[in-house]
Amino acid sequence: MTFKNENTWYKYVQEKREGEFNRSYDDAVDDVKAKLGKTFPNYIDGKFVEASSTFQVFSPSDARIRIGYFQKSSKKDVRQAISAAKKAFAKWSNIEWQGRIKILKAAADKVAEKKFFFAATISIENGKNRYEAMGDVDEAIDAIRFYCEEIEVNNGFEGKMGKAFSNESAKSVMKPYGVWGVIGPFNFPLAIPVSMSAGAMITGNTAVLKPSSDTPLTMYRFAEVLNDVKLPAGGFNFITGSGSEVGAEIVSNDDIAGIAFTGSRAVGYAIAKEFVSRRPRPVIAEMGGKNPVIVSSKADLRQAVEGTLKSAFGYGGQKCSACSKVLVFENIKKEFLSMLVNRTKSIEVGDPTKKETFLGPLINKDAYEKYRKFIEVAKRDGKVVAGGITLTAGEYSKGYFVEPTIVDELPENHRLMQEELFVPILCVQSVKNLEEAIAVANNTEYGLTAGIFTKDR
């Protein structure tokens, strides 16, 4: 077995089958919409069960589209899910790794069979365009298959050790922890929760997942997949609700052996502090970025413009890996910025299910209001050279649509240059040379991604 990335859109383009891709996606949109508006239960101990009350979720593209009613779970509901996962751990962890990966591979195959349905669900639920949504699905499939291959290559992470003496025998055996609490984000509603959950389950742990309350449907569909492939009851538990109830119970419960979290720095810090307060337990937390791109005087400016734009404004900058500041050598800044502004003005903003759309809506009202607040700060302290407008007329009136924005002339230590914004605002700063660019790039509390455009290695 050799792992290969799914790369769905790329393969369709290589095979000149773009029309087929778009037809399959459009058909899936119709299929997904026909199944919206229902009441979607939790998935606990191998059963689909309801709590005592529900909350509603609407599409960020159009508030008239009700995604569905989801369970407003109580702490008692969460404890039932954790209890089921704890009970299942003994059986699941004692299944040979070959048996575990057989089940997870079957899940990956089933998601692959339904990839257009999953992609359309993501577009409608969180506002990603069709190409980014398909990438989200591909990443989920890839994660499962890659983890399965790693287990195989490493013989279940069990191996003989060396000898200090001829008459001794020693081996290294990696053991699962127990029940993992998984808290997922809205921006990759399939890829990240699946990768965190699958990583836990493949290695013999069980999982209790809380998805983002903005995007619960996507992972509900994955719970259906795990049910279909007959994952043992309690191995995976899906439970919706607020952070103050569901999230708080997961973090404070002594039966949770580990936490996997993706989200904001503030929440990640709070989780880590609470979770280890009684005893040492692992916390895997990915908490954002403030990612620079350097454009040198030896760059291909067309490539630099296109790469910077797609990194900054792909999914509206609502990604921890998004470029949020570009550091341009001062002798090419004027030309680069002019090209970037013109290209940014050509971005198609609108319904993410339409094939021509690049930028869909922001995820919710809070993000929309945050964008408006940051724009006022940018106008006050810098110069907005592109965008800076909320879109409210016509087709935009029912969603959270904004223009991608470029801001120039901000001081290096300004909050917009330092804070993770998570909206489509890109800050530009000129630098004299590579040494200064690297110093400015490293002037941040975050360390996640960075890029450079140059033809001189």
> Do 218 and 197 form a contact (C-beta atoms < 8 A)?
no
User: How many residues are given for the chain?
Assistant: 457
How many alpha carbons lie under 13 Å from residue 5 in its C-beta half-sphere?
9
359 phi/psi in degrees, rounded to 5? -115, 120
Q: Where are the alpha helices (DSSP H) in 392-433?
A: 415-418
What whole-number distance in Å separates Cα of residue 55 and Cα of residue 451?
Answer: 41
What whole-number distance in Å separates Cα of residue 208 and Cα of residue 289?
Answer: 26
> Do 322 and 291 form a contact (C-beta atoms < 8 A)?
yes
Q: Is 286 among the residues known to form the active site? A: yes
- Spatial strand order of the sheet with 425-431 comes to 383-386, 405-408, 425-431, 323-329, 291-295, 451-453
Q: Where are the alpha helices (DSSP H) in 94-129?
A: 97-113, 115-126
> Do 237 and 43 form a contact (C-beta atoms < 8 A)?
yes
Q: Which of 150, 274, 286, 419 is catalytic?
A: 286
Residue type, 29: V
3-class SS of residue 244: helix
CA 360 from centre of chain: 16
440 contact partners, CB below 8 Å, separation of at least 6: 292, 327, 412, 429, 431
What whole-number distance in Å separates Cα of residue 62 and Cα of residue 140?
Answer: 26
> Do 363 and 60 form a contact (C-beta atoms < 8 A)?
yes
What whole-number distance in Å separates Cα of residue 387 and Cα of residue 427?
Answer: 12
> Do 288 and 322 form a contact (C-beta atoms < 8 A)?
no
What whole-number distance in Å separates Cα of residue 23 and Cα of residue 175?
Answer: 46
Q: Is 420 among the residues known to form the active site? A: no
What whole-number distance in Å separates Cα of residue 354 and Cα of residue 127?
Answer: 11
Q: Which of 148, 249, 320, 323 is catalytic?
A: 320
- Which residues is 38 bridged to in the sheet? 68
397 contact partners, CB below 8 Å, separation of at least 6: none
Unique residue bearing structure tokens 């809506």: 361
Residues recognised as catalytic: 286, 320
